[in-house]
Structure 1
Amino acid sequence: MAKKKSEPQILSSVTNALRILKSFSTFEPTKKVGELAESLGLAKSTVSRLLSTLASEGFVIKDPETQAYRLGISVLTLAGIVTNDLDIHKEAAPVLHKLVNDTGETTHLAVMDGLDTIYIHKEECYHPVRILTHLGRRNPSYCTSSGKVLLAYSDDHIVEDIINKGLVSYTKNSITDPDLLRSELEMVREKKYAVSTEELTEGTKSVAAPIRDYTGKVVSAITVVGPIQRMKEYKIRDIAKKVSEAGKEASERLGYDERFFSR
């Protein structure tokens, strides 16, 4: 009788430690033991031991006055290794910088992670009034231009999973109708770029275009974002053209050759 293939062993302690690290966010940069225990459904003693272990390795830091924890430098070190090792990050960085000069607005590089969109690189604009965005922040894909680009070229089941999860309204412009979202994504495929006007955050507007790898697969989105006062409607077509050109340049840097996919 053939031996049954053993299942990989999952260590609950490691899983819980990672859950703790992932619970920190831009909106909740510090957390106390009790808060983590309640949100994760763990005993306070378990959370306390895991935090002590993470602190000993520099992954979290404890504030002696508030007794709250925040992420440590070790997380930043690992994040730097990941981004620097990504081909898309290395190849797109100079394109993003050029796009800032061409548009005068902040640019981002975004990828899909699960059902969310994450910024993995950012080039800040020179305006004194800027849009506050954060690297590593998870955004609902259907509410951002970069997310809509990535969704437009994703497998259908991903779009349906997002719809089944529920299209939450963040502003009055958020897309909450499934059919409207599907139509929007079809339009993105036709235009080859996406626009988001105050769909996630009021007062902001963004334009995004796809970046493809050498196989033709859309692996990232390049985005320009700014306040609606500067991102006027009559400027959008020109910005979209520049963003699309930047997306093509980044794609070519990754080995994409449009001639092989247009036959």
Structure 2
Amino acid sequence: MDKAFIKGLRLIEALALSDQPRGVTDLANALGLTKSNVHRLLATLIAQGYVRQVPPQSHYELTTRIWELGSHVIRRMDLTRIARPAMARLAEQTGETVHLSVLDGSEVVYLDKIESAHHIRAHTSVGARAPAYTVATGKAMLAQMPDSYLDRFEGRMQRYTDTTRITLAELREDIRIAREQGHALVPEGEWREGIAACACAILNRSGELAGAIGMSGPDSRIKRKQLREIAPLVMEAARAISLALGYAPRV
């Protein structure tokens, strides 16, 4: 059995399960390794593109390389195929663009979408990314994560529009409301100007976050009242996908 390989895997697991970047001393203590050993393992993982250094404290976190490998597993599970019927139904019900997203650290990644037939509509690309704190699918997924998960945004929140949340306190309030309502609303674009959106998290067989489904369109057409009326449709779509993934709601 290759002991160095096992140590590297344990280091990857420690970083993957951490809510924030970790330092060498912290990792060495947690894994029962010497700091020089951890340094060597990190250097190898950085060289291979699996880990990056986070300034200014010289802490470390995983890159999306692990996610890219995991995405092949996700594709085998075929979340996109399972979600398609509910996405199509929601697109027909609302007449707006529907997205399927997953959470990757502090970003959302768009796995699939069904475009609105309207000439003026929300534009995104499959495979594109957006800061999770700025979009409805991101907020819906963050609402499923522990409070400590939000700490990663401290000091890293940028303004993209006039309505972008740029403080952790503002984000925590949005997440509190999303948890309370069971869905996330973005009435005025926080990532892109002029986009209104509603989203709900999708849960898997274990009751854990699998992704999110969201509807978006121009805020000139979708006012707050319309968003509130659309929210139950988005929640029903998320529920249908969750059930198809094997999720069993608590009675």
Instruction: Give 5+ residue unaligned stretches, structure 1.
Output: 20-77
> Residues 242-257 of structure 1: matches in 2 within 5 Å?
242-257=233-248
Gap change, CA 1:4 and 1:227, over 3 Å in 2? closer
Whether the 8 Å CA contact 1:96–1:108 is kept in 2: the answer is yes
Counterpart-to-counterpart distance in 2, 1:214 and 1:127: 36
Q: 1:169 aligns with which of 148, 153, 159?
A: 159
Cα offset, 1:84, TM superposition: 4.2
Whether the 8 Å CA contact 1:213–1:256 is kept in 2: the answer is yes
Gap change, CA 1:118 and 1:4, over 3 Å in 2? closer
| Aligned residue type for 2:123 | L
| Aligned residue type for 1:217 | E
Q: 2:144 aligns with which of 150, 153, 156?
A: 153
Give the 3-state SS of the residue equivalent to 2:197 in structure 1. Answer: strand
| Aligned residue type for 1:168 | Q
Answer with 1 or 2: which has the greater Rg.
1
Which residue is equivalent to 1:182? Answer: 172
| Aligned residue type for 2:137 | S
Q: 1:5 aligns with which of 3, 6, 31?
A: 3
Give the 3-state SS of the residue equivalent to 2:110 in structure 1. Answer: strand
| Aligned residue type for 2:184 | A
Give the 3-state SS of the residue equivalent to 1:200 in structure 2. Answer: coil
The CA deviation string for residues 161-195 of structure 1, in whole angstroms up to 9 with x for no partner, is 12x24211111100112112111101100100011
| Aligned residue type for 2:196 | K
Instruction: State percent identity of aligned pairs.
Output: 32
The CA deviation string for residues 118-167 of structure 1, in whole angstroms up to 9 with x for no partner, is 110111111122222111111111100000011111133321012x2421
Which residue is equivalent to 1:206? Answer: 197
Structure 1 stretch 177-186 or stretch 238-247: which is displaced more? 177-186
Which residue is equivalent to 1:240? Answer: 231
Normalised TM-score (structure 2): 0.71
| Aligned residue type for 2:159 | S
Report how many residues are paired.
Answer: 198
Counterpart-to-counterpart distance in 2, 1:215 and 1:144: 25
Cα offset, 1:4, TM superposition: 9.0
Which residue is equivalent to 1:110? Answer: 101
Does residue 1:128 correspond to 2:119, yes or no? yes
Structure 1 runs of 4+ with >3 Å offset: 7-16, 80-84
Counterpart-to-counterpart distance in 2, 1:120 and 1:128: 23
Give the 3-state SS of the residue equivalent to 1:146 in structure 2. Answer: helix
The CA deviation string for residues 22-58 of structure 1, in whole angstroms up to 9 with x for no partner, is xxxxxxxxxxxxxxxxxxxxxxxxxxxxxxxxxxxxx
Which residue is equivalent to 2:62? Answer: none
Give the 3-state SS of the residue equivalent to 1:244 in structure 2. Answer: helix
The CA deviation string for residues 193-250 of structure 1, in whole angstroms up to 9 with x for no partner, is 0111211111111100111111111221100010012112221122111101101111
Normalised TM-score (structure 1): 0.68
Counterpart-to-counterpart distance in 2, 1:11 and 1:156: 29
Give the 3-state SS of the residue equivalent to 1:237 in structure 2. Answer: helix
Cα offset, 1:81, TM superposition: 6.3
Counterpart-to-counterpart distance in 1, 2:120 and 2:74: 27
Counterpart-to-counterpart distance in 2, 1:158 and 1:84: 25
Counterpart-to-counterpart distance in 2, 1:83 and 1:217: 14
Cα offset, 1:114, TM superposition: 1.5
Counterpart-to-counterpart distance in 2, 1:178 and 1:81: 33
| Aligned residue type for 2:163 | N
Whether the 8 Å CA contact 1:87–1:254 is kept in 2: the answer is no
